[in-house]
Structure 1
Amino acid sequence: MGATAEVAAGPARAIVLSSAAPDSFCVGADLKERHTLDDAGFDAQRLVFRRAFASLRDLPVPAVAAVHGYALGGGYELALSCDLIVADETAVVGLPEVRVGIVPGGGTQLLPRRVGYGIAADLILTGRQVKADEAARLGLVDRLVPEGADLTTALDLAGLIAANSPIAVANARNAIRHGLGADLPAGLDIEDAAWRTAVFSDDRREGVRAFVEHRPPTW
């Protein structure tokens, strides 16, 4: 069962992607291993990586990346595949693939949608590494927190998301994502459809009722 199916089958309303490594989130592909690959090996590995990135993007609930230390190449692309990125002060992000003759395989489309063409081109075409303070300033990460607080903050953020209406969160998220690729009139129609799905749901009825009754809603 893939990650998307596992989440869809369970009670999760948000997930956190983190690393157990003490000094890094993920440094991407092993270049020493890649040195041994032939063209067929690269092609096979590419399919695996595409499935990994897609499994995060296709999750039915929001995903929050908790980043500390190095998040480079495929590692940063995993974070980009999440909805939000929390980084601590040790974080260093980058897409260095062009330095070894490779195009970023999970960042050339997601990064410009996050930060715009110029900043994305700066990062991708130079292959430079960006420390946490600049990453936060440029929008490469969403929240910058003290060293060691990335996971706790990401869990808290996921908890805030999970406390809200699942139907409202899912439809708002879909409206944001689908609207990015549309012109404004089409985007407003996407927003209207999301609004209508939520407002005519049991979640809206429960949410408004709970507000009036001064109690937490039961979704």
Structure 2
Amino acid sequence: MTDVELHHHGNVAEIRLNRVAARNALSTQLAEELAKAAAAAAQKARAVVLSSAAPTAFCVGADLKERDRLSDADFMAQRLVFRRAFGRLREMPVPVVAAVHGHALGGGYELALCCDLIVADETAVVGLPEVRVGIVPGGGGTQLLPRRVGYGVAADLILTGRHVPAAEAARLGLVDRLVPAGKDIESAIELATQIAANSPVAVANARNAIRRGLDVDLAAGLDIEDSAWRATVFSDDRREGVRAFVERRKPNWP
């Protein structure tokens, strides 16, 4: 049995964390398998779901028992593996939806932050508690969370290390959709399927414009949007989309 499984639902790939006994604690092996699964999912899917097979957790963060046995050199070697895994997920060429239930803490919540959208069920608890054990978030948390919710909320979460239950997480924008308990994976796959049904060219260009526009002023952002519009409007997808609308049928994206 592997620590990460890859499943397919039509045009949607599901990357499922499967280190169940450890509640998906991030070990070196899990990180290596996650990087490989992300690369494989990106080859064919139009959207990806990151989910968990563990019944009470999405991912509880780094495997501190493993880390306690590492030398400083081993720790740095693991760091490279972890950066590669988080980077592969963050840089996926298609949209990624996290399906979160139970605890998503530390590196576990950072995995969700690497995704475009986070669907959480009512059992979800998120947080970045690294400062409680003498470290700082290292999977992108200090950069991704402020971009998602602003400085104040991010500082509150990161500097206290507190755990945030699902309802408050949804109110603060720490997750995007809140669904009934046990419905996170089903709802995330439905959302990913809805995204995958749209023009791959338009989705990719729109997503790229959103991401690139986060760190520039409005004028520069509008130029980025104009470039995305031009790249899309002269594509075969645009021609097929308009033709399908006129003919009242579903598009067959080229």
Written as runs of structure 1 = structure 2, the 5 A alignment for 1:50-199 is 50-106=83-139, 107-199=141-233
Gaps of 5+ in 2: 1-34
**CA distance in structure 2 between the partners assigned to 1:126 and 1:78 by the alignment:** 20
Letter in 1 for 2:113: L
**How far is the alpha carbon of 1:91 from its aligned partner?**
0.2
Looking at structure 2, the residues matched to 2 and 67 of structure 1 have their Cα atoms a distance apart, in angstroms, of: 21
- 1:53-85: CA deviation from partner (whole Å, max 9, x where unpaired): 101111110000000000000000000000000
Give the alignment's TM-score, normalised by structure 2: 0.84
Amino acid at match of 2:77: A
Q: Residues 78-128 of structure 1: CA distance to partner in whole angstroms, max 9, x if unpaired?
A: 000000000000000000000111010020000000000000000000000
User: What code does the residue aligned with 2:222 have?
Assistant: L
Secondary structure at 1:18 match in 2:
strand
Q: Structure 1 length as normaliser, TM-score?
A: 0.97
> CA-atom RMSD, angstroms?
1.1
Decide whether aligned partners of structure 1 residues 36 and 8 sit closer, same or farther in structure 2, where only a CA change above 3 A counts.
closer
- Tell me the CA shift for residue 38 of structure 1: 2.0
How much identity, in percent, do the aligned residues show?
A: 79
Distance in 1, matches of 2:39 and 2:85, equals 13
Structure 1, unmatched stretches of 5+, are none
Residue-pair matches, total: 218
Q: Distance in 2 between matches of 1:8 and 1:25?
A: 21
Q: Which among 64, 79, 104 is matched to residue 46 of structure 1? A: 79
The answer to whether the Cα contact below 8 Å between 1:179 and 1:190 also exists between their aligned partners in 2 is: yes
Distance in 2 (CA, whole Å) between partners of 1:5 and 1:137 is 33
Alignment equivalent of 1:211, drawn from 235, 239, 245: 245
Structure 1 residue ranges (4+ consecutive) displaced by more than 3 angstroms after TM superposition: 1-5
Q: Is the 8 A contact 2:39 2:88 kept in 1?
A: no
Check conservation: 1:3, 1:55, Cα contact below 8 A.
Answer: no
Q: Distance in 1 between matches of 2:123 and 2:94?
A: 28
Offset, 1:158: 0.2
